[in-house]
A and B are shown apart, each in its own frame.
Chain A
Amino acid sequence: MRYADAPEQQAWRQEVRRFVRRHVTPALRAELRAHGNEGEGPLARAFHRQIFDKGWWGIAWPTEFGGLGKSAVDQYIFVEEMEAAGAPAMRLSITSVAPTIRRVGTEAQKERWLRPILHGEVDFAIGYSEPDAGTDLAALKTRAVLDGDEWVVNGQKIWNTGAHTATHDWLAVRTEPDVPKHKGISLLIVPMDRPGITVQGLETWSGIRTNAVFFEDVRVPRDYLIGERGNGFYYVMMALDFERITLGSTGLLRRLLEDLKAFVRGTVRDGRPLGAVPWVRRAIADLEMRVEVGRQLGLLNAWLVDQGVVPTKEGSMAKVYVTELNARLASVGMEILGLAGQLAPDDPAAPLHGRLQWLYTTAPLQRFGGGTNEIQRCIIAQRGLGLPRK
């Protein structure tokens, strides 16, 4: 048992911290805030390049695929430090798609896709949901039919965030129409530059752009179907499990809480230091406790991955806990900021660059996205504690 970084983890953390301290500049953070998810600006692109040159995007990847072969805990530490510095997030291509290809793809597919993902040449949008298939994903209708050596895709995806900037779509499609709904789905990679694809932007409350994507007789090579036909639903679940490993990071919350504490220390309201107001003190201490609990849940999850376990229960726990805490920290934090809490990120007077207000509007997405928290709780109860399904 050891509830602290091991010496080599400590050294790794210091190395990441030194790097981000130097390279995550206020200018880069401002650019990230201004761009949202409308593609990378020049500073973000340069930053990505530097991380790539250090091999850090592939921290937990095996060395044979260009990774550093480090542990999931090392990756957690990396994400924690990156988030704490306000650096760009790790792409889902790296944290979710690539590990799935590594597990279920053919040797040729691993050769074809993994290095380009790591190099940032291939970047995926995730195309699971459809207008009538959200939480009940297995109800999806987008079809792919084999015609000679090509799949022909027809249908519609929604909430396909990143489809307007990605090079490829990681698409769940129905390939076997005559079998039970969970067993008829496959995973298909679709290059976004193929004819027949229409991307329609959808604006959301938080300012994050997402998309409806239409596929009309879109043709992709036969071997772009990943793994085995008809196993796609299980691959999606696997990809979501991988996604939750990094979702459980509390680095961002830690940073916002530290910024909030600094605000409290430096603020006098109605003639009284905010840090001497009992409800403010209690609220901050409560958040301090909750962020620490979340950190333990996230680390536990990463540690279990290193033990060779697929932490379904713990992954869902970390996802539910941390995303609920996002909402709480944003809401309580804005209350502490007082009337200034409502100022938007682009108002120069906004405390914390309006980040709490930004978190307040993105928190709903995190709670219902990536598998709703209600479904996660059912997973915890059924798969973690053996409650009956029927």
Chain B
Amino acid sequence: MDFGTGVDQQAVQAAARRFLAAEITRERRRAWETTAEGHDAEFWSGVAQLGWFGYGLPREYGGEGASLLELGLLLEECGRFVAPFAIFSTIAGGLGVAALGTAAQKRDWLPLIARGDSRVALAVAEKAAAANPSAFQTTVRSRRRGFVVRGEKRYVLQGVAADAFVVAARDGRGVSALIVPAGAPGVTVVPARTFAHDRQCVLRLDDVVLPATALAGMRGAAWPRLERLRRRLAALLCAEMIGGADAVLDMTARYVSEREQFGVKIGTFQAVQQMIAGMAIELEGARHVTRQALWRLAEGLAAEREIAIAKAWTGRAYVSITLAAHQLHGGAGYVVDHDLHRYSARAKEAELRFGSPEEWLEDLAGRLRLAPDGRR
């Protein structure tokens, strides 16, 4: 066992922290609220220059080949500053192309993504389907030497700024993945309004005609790889969550240590101390089940059980920590001028994305072989 971060890992985290602390000012965040992407070009190129978009991508395609564990440590810092969710989305899109794309698609997209010049968004969930591919309404069929895709994808992260989408579509009995350029005729992007303002969209695909080269991987065989990708992204999202939860606990401990009522600091009240301690325990557990899952992924070990535990526990913990923080901040943390609501909304959205705690617990139950005939 070794719970410590290495010198290199600490350096990556410290550099990220310095950058985000300096760049994300209150004024700038306010200005970002009115933009379509949720950030500005200068910030984006700053992130790109630091190499974050290519950090976890293969070296042969312009990336740095960092492991999921290292990528997670970086994302912890993004979570700590509630950095624009576009960073996570872009990294996720890159990992999606790397996981599903053909060699040619990787050559086309990954170097651009790594440099921050292109973004690819993942489009899997639909109005009535998220984890069961046979329920997908989006379909693909052959036409001449290419394909036609039709359907509607939802909850697409950063869809408004994407240059292309990795679309999961029902293909006969299986699922195919296709890379759909945002400019292809028949593609419509409609912004969705979410309470964390993270620029999601509805992606309409009205008989979009694609060349044969749009297919990512084998026809009808994409689902196992999409599922594997979803597990990895769930673990990575946990890393973002623990960074955010850490910041919320920190700001709350500081607030109750300064705020006075009845002539004393409210942090002296036992009721307050009990809540703070509860938050700290939830976070410490989240930190280590998350890092355990990412460490196992990075080492190439089986991690399904650990990912399920990480996402179920961390999703709950981050939500519960932000809600306790609201209670302890009172009105001071309720105004939009205070950053707390940004964490709280991000926490709840993250809990829902890539499988909710209850869904992951059911996944975990399935792995424990509780029913005699393998019945779920």
A residues sitting closer than 8 Å to B (CB atoms) are: 1-6, 9, 73, 261, 264-265, 273-276, 280-282, 284-286, 288-289, 292-294, 296-297, 299-300, 302-304, 307, 313-314, 316-317, 320-321, 374, 376-378, 380-382, 384-390
Contact = CB atoms under 8 A, between A and B. Distances in A.
Contact of A264 (B306, B313, B370): B370
Task: Provide the main secondary structure of the chain A interface.
Answer: helix
Given A285-B362, A288-B364, A297-B288, A1 B281 contact: no
Nearest to B267: A387
A273 B256 contact: no
Contact of A2 (B249, B285, B295, B309): B295
Contacts, number: 165
A157 to B, nearest CB: 27
A302 B4 CA distance: 13
A303 B5 CA distance: 13
A380 B2 contact: no
B273 A377 contact: yes
Given A261-B368, A297-B288, A285 B361 contact: yes
B103 interface: no
A314 B270 contact: no
B89 to A, nearest CB: 26
Given A285-B368, A314-B284, A73 B270 contact: no
8 contacts: A1-B2, A275-B370, A284-B365, A284-B370, A320-B277, A377-B276, A386-B253, A386-B257
Contacts of B291: 1, 3
B1 interface: yes
Given A2-B2, A261-B368, A289-B312, A388 B267 contact: yes
Nearest to A294: B285
B313 to A, nearest CB: 6
B278 to A, nearest CB: 7
Interface in B256-288: 256-257, 264-265, 267-268, 270, 272-274, 276-278, 280-281, 284-285, 288
B313 A385 contact: no
Contacts of B295: 1-4
For the complex of A and B, the 10 pairs showing the least CB-CB separation, nearest first, are: A275-B370, A377-B277, A381-B273, A296-B288, A275-B371, A293-B285, A380-B277, A3-B292, A281-B365, A285-B365
Contacts of B368: 261, 284-285, 288
A238 B371 CA distance: 47
Given A282-B358, A380-B273, 9 more contacts: A5-B1, A275-B372, A281-B365, A285-B364, A302-B1, A316-B277, A377-B274, A378-B277, A390-B268
B249 A385 contact: yes
B122 interface: no
A293 to B, nearest CB: 4
A2 B312 CA distance: 22
Interface string B9-38: 100000000000000000000000000000
B361 A286 contact: yes
Interface of B: 1-6, 9, 69, 249, 253, 256-257, 264-265, 267-268, 270, 272-274, 276-278, 280-281, 284-285, 288-289, 291-292, 295-296, 301, 306, 308-309, 312-313, 358, 361-362, 364-365, 368-373, 375
A289 to B, nearest CB: 5
Contacts of A9: 1
Given A282-B362, A387-B272, A320 B281 contact: yes
A291 to B, nearest CB: 10
A11 to B, nearest CB: 14
Contact of A1 (B4, B270, B369): B4
A317 to B, nearest CB: 5
Contacts of A302: 1
Contacts of A320: 277, 281
Contacts of A276: 370-371, 375
A388 B257 contact: yes
Contact of A299 (B1, B5, B9, B264): B1
Query: Which one of B69, B256, B306, B372 has the highest number of Cβ atoms from chain A below 10 Å of its Cβ?
Result: B372
A304 B1 CA distance: 11
Given A276-B375, A282-B361, A1 B6 contact: yes
Contacts of B249: 385
Max chain B Cβ within 10 angstroms of own Cβ: one of A73, A281, A381:
A381
Given A1-B69, A285-B364, A314-B284, A293 B309 contact: yes
B112 to A, nearest CB: 32
A387 B375 contact: no
Nearest to B375: A276
Contact of B370 (A5, A265, A293, A386): A265
Contacts of A5: 1
A376 B296 CA distance: 32
